[in-house]
Structures are given as C-alpha cells and as structure tokens.
Amino acid sequence: MSNPALDPREAPAAVTRRSQGGHRPLGARSGAPSYRAISGEQLLRLPQLDRLSWRTRMAMRAVTRVLPFRANHYVIDQLIDWDRVPDDPIFQLVFPQPAMLEVADRARLHRLERAGEASALAAAVRSLRWRLNPHPAGQVEHNVPTFEGRRLHGLQHKYSETVLFFPAQGQTCHAYCSYCFRWPQFVGVDDLQFASREVGELVGYLRAHPEVTSVLITGGDPLIMRAALLRRYLEPLLRANLPGLTSIRIGTKSVAYWPQRFVSDRDADEVLRLFEEVVASGKSLAVMAHYSHPRELSTAVAQRALARIQSTGAVVRCQAPLIKHVNDDAATWAELWRTEVRLGAVPYYMFVARDTGPREYFEVPLVRAWTIYRDALAAVSGLARTVRGPSMSTTAGKVVIDGVATVHGAQVLVLRYLQARDPAWVGRPFFAALDAQASWFTHLRPAAGSPRLFFDAETARPSARLITLRTGMA
C-alpha cells in the first residue's frame, strides 16, 4: 500500500484551524470506533481463545496475575492472524504466554487461588514480581535525580543532555507489550512506579540544569492522555525560558495499538494542533514510535495516523527491541524498515530485550542479534540505514554491538557506547570474549588484554562526579 493522501476534510491542525466556524473535525465523525480496554479479568471470556486448550488458557490467566495484560479490539480484530495462533507474532507480542512463568510458579498461584488464600496469593505475586528484576540498569538507584533536597520520582536523568519525564496520567497504554521492560508501571504497585503530576518540578529542574537539551515524555504512553491534559504538561515547557531545551520527544506505542488516536478519536485534531504548536515554538518535536512488526503498519488507519502526525512538522523516529517469537529474523526487520522509510518515518533503534520481566522467554543471543541486524541492514537502501543496533541499555549507558572480529588470534565481540553516563565513554570501542550463548551485557567478559573498566561499571555505583551532576549539589 502507498502512503494514503490526506483528504482535505481530514486536514489536521493547520487546515482545521483556518476552517470556517462549524467545521466538524475528523475526530468527531459519527461511527468512529471508540477505545475499550480488555484486561486480564476478561481474558478467559474472549471467544478467540476458545481454540486453545483450557489448560493453556488457565496458564495464561496465571501469568496475568504477575505481569500486566491489556489489549483492545483493534489489536485483536485487525492485527492478530488467529489462524496462526499461538505462533502469530502479534499474539505473542500482546498476549501472556504460559512459558513466561515457571510451571511450579503457575501451579502455586493456581493452588492459592483455588484455596481462596487471598493474602498468601498476593504475597506470592509480589515475590514473583521482585524476582523479575522490576527496575533494571539502576533506574531507581542511579537515574532518579534529587532537586532542592527531594528525589523527583517522576523524572530520570541518566545522560547529561536528556531528561525523561513520566506524567502520572500517562502511565498506561492502549495495549501492553508482553515483553515490556516498564511492566512495573502497570501492575498497580506504587513503589514500583515512576510518575509525577508536577510539571513545575520538571521546569524547575531544567532551569537548574542548562546542560539538558532534550526532554522525553514517556510512560506508559503519554498519548493515552486526553489532549487537554497532554497540553498541561507540554505548554509549560514552551512558555518557560529554557533556551537550552531544543527538542521534545514523546514515546508512544499508540501509533501501532490505537492509531485512531490521531485519526478519529474525539480530540485527535486537538492532539495534532498541540504538535503544531510545539513545532511552531521553534523546538524540534520527535514522536518516538514503537513499531515491533511490519503488520502494525499494514492497516489503512495506521498509515493515515502516521501521515497526519508528519503533517504537523513532527519527525517520527521508529524503534523496537529484537524479540524472540515476534521479530527474530532479518526479513521481518528489513520489511519493517523499508515500510517505515516508504511512509516517511526514520528507522532509529533496534534494542536488545532488557534484563527484566519474562526475559528468558524473549531473549535472543547477542551474536545472533547482531547477525539479524547485519543481514537486515544489508537488505535495505541507505535511507533505512539510519537505524542503530543491536543496542543494550545498561547501567552505564547504551552499548551497541558492532560485530564479531579476530583480535590477537581470538574471536571477540566489538562493542561501543552510543550513550553513557560519563560522556568520555561515548564512541569508545572495547572488546568482549566471544560467547555464543550470552544474551545480555552482564553475561560478557573482557577479551584478553581488554580493560575491565566498562564491564565493572555495570555493578559499580556512578562516580561522585556524576552524582553531583545529577543532583546539582556540590
């Protein structure tokens, strides 16, 4: 399918704003689909799952007690090929799979539920969640900044030039990815969450940290919020005197799981007007679109949503992790990147699945991840080779795998920091002994003669100098 041209009646912000009074915006059209979430409590009532055995469905239900599940009818009816279930990649991407928990753990949960032992069940669930490493890469210990004597739990400041902001009302999604490394945001446990309702704290922190040039509004998914609420978070950034702030990013999966957000939702045009205002303010607006599989871009509404976002002047950059059972082959990635480029978006990152949640179910060995990336890159034109990867978000920074090489007669993995807490580490190559089974940075060991510095950083606390940078305290 080619990129659908916008009908004049579907013009987003600029044309709608110039229209004569009484023009009904696209989002108010009668008959437009309305969003309705499907949660774990409804899982067993979905008729599409009747093709699976009762034992499988009960195992899936047990997984939803520990890990979050949410879907919607767009995902279920238009993205999943039910004739290929359970192997369908979008089914694997969204629905809980029995193997995400150990058999013994599922049996224990089922036994406690059947016995009506509510408090013991809750304790078992909490214990399992903590076993799944809910905050990888030192997100709580190292990334949450202190400002004016208080820790700001709705912010993360890992890299000097970038701050992440978690608006409290945006800490959910239109559907959940079963691999999501931010799964603790969705399980209803406050001490596992990052969230803030205080955009004033963000503005104050940015004033005190002029080194910050970019803010990433993230979640969850900020675009689950209504336009008026999203405006309350964005407008203060535009009004404040923050000359160093040059770009605003919004991380979202809505483009894949509910593209109607930009096409037919009641306030779709309001969202696009807000995007235009950000661009008109002189700041770059990047929509960080999470597309995991080319099928998510195959529907007319998904392509129309992408076109409408781009018409506001926002740049759409695309990223996703490499996930077993979903996109662990080069042909899928090559098709995804080609489709993104054809539709005017920018392939940006291929990530390695992070060391949290049911990671063993989704992990791909690093050498194989690099091979998939290399083969996919070789199959696309230069316009799609903007993508970086495979990248691991470690405690010390983003480590990319540049390939396999022979150094002093031994095979090694060639690694490099794309981003780091210590900017002096950015771009510096280093080597790990080749391990065909390793699937995360902590599984690697320095190659012979290579310094341990970068490897030891994964378990060490950031230096006092970097702590000072984050807190603003001398």
DSSP label of 433 = E
pLDDT at 19: 30
| Cα distance between residue 131 and residue 125, in whole Å | 10
Distance CA 266, CA 345 (A): 25
In angstroms, what is the C-alpha Rg of the chain? 23
* pLDDT of res. 140: 63
For residues 130 and 78, what is the distance between their CA atoms, to the nearest angstrom? 35
Q: Which helix H or strand E contains 157, and what residues bound it?
A: strand 155-159
Both tokens of residue 148?
């004016």
**pLDDT for the residue numbered 459:** 59
Beta-sheet pairing, 429-433 with 410-420: antiparallel
pLDDT at 24: 35
pLDDT given for residue 466 in this prediction: 41
Task: Write the DSSP assignment of 439-451 as a string of letters.
Answer: -SGGG--BPTT--
Kindly state whether residue 60 falls inside one of the protein's structural domains.
Answer: yes
Asked if the structure places residue 209 within a domain, the reply is no
Indicate whether 89 belongs to any domain: yes
Would you say residue 261 lies in a domain?
Answer: no
Domain that holds residue 100: 37-131
At residue 7, does pLDDT exceed 50?
A: no
Round to whole Å and give the CA distance between 275 and 296.
Answer: 23
What pLDDT, on the 0 to 100 scale, is given for residue 27? 45
* pLDDT band for position 136 (cuts 50, 70, 90): low
Average of per-residue pLDDT values in the chain = 87
pLDDT attached to residue 454: 83
**Is residue 80 a part of any domain in this protein?**
yes
Judged against a pLDDT cut of 70, whether residue 333 lies above it is answered with yes
Residue-wise pLDDT for 396-441, tens only, equals 999 999 999 999 899 999 999 999 999 999 999 999 999 999 999 9
pLDDT tens digits, one per residue of 233-263: 999 999 998 999 999 999 999 999 999 999 9
Crossing angle for the helix pair 118-131 and 103-114, nearest 10 degrees? 160
**Comparing 265 with 188, which gets the higher pLDDT?**
265
pLDDT at 139: 57
User: Which whole-number Å values give the CA distances from 249 to 65, 112, 154, 164, 315, in the listed order?
Assistant: 33, 44, 16, 9, 9
pLDDT given at position 323: 96
Q: What is the pLDDT confidence band of residue 451, given thresholds at 50, 70 and 90?
A: confident
pLDDT at 355: 79
| DSSP-assigned beta bridge partners for residue 431 | 414
DSSP conformation class of 462 = P
Report whether 199 contacts 147 (CB < 8 A): no
Report CA torsion sign: 334, 306, 309, 14: positive
Structural domains in the chain (count): 1
For residue 326, the Cα-to-chain-centroid distance in whole angstroms is 15
Q: Is residue 184 part of a domain?
A: no
230 pLDDT more than 80: yes
Is residue 289 helix, strand or coil?
A: strand
Strand, helix or coil at 111?
helix
Q: How far apart are CA 101 and CA 71, in angstroms?
A: 20
Assess if residue 453 is contained within a domain.
no
Q: Report if residue 338 sits inside a domain.
A: no
Q: Mean per-residue pLDDT for 310-323?
A: 98
Nearest residue to 101 via CA among 123, 128, 122: 128
Cβ within 8 Å of residue 464, ≥6 positions away: none
**What is the bridge-based pairing of β-strands 150-151 and 214-217?**
unpaired
Confirm if 431 and 446 have CB atoms less than 8 A apart.
yes
Q: Is the pLDDT of residue 188 over 70?
A: no
pLDDT over 90 for what percent of the chain? 69
CA atoms within 13 A on the CB side of 242: 29
C-beta of residue 59 within 8 angstroms of C-beta of residue 106: yes
Residue 125 has pLDDT above 50, yes or no: yes
pLDDT for 29 equals 55
pLDDT value of position 198: 83
Tokens of 235: 């407008």
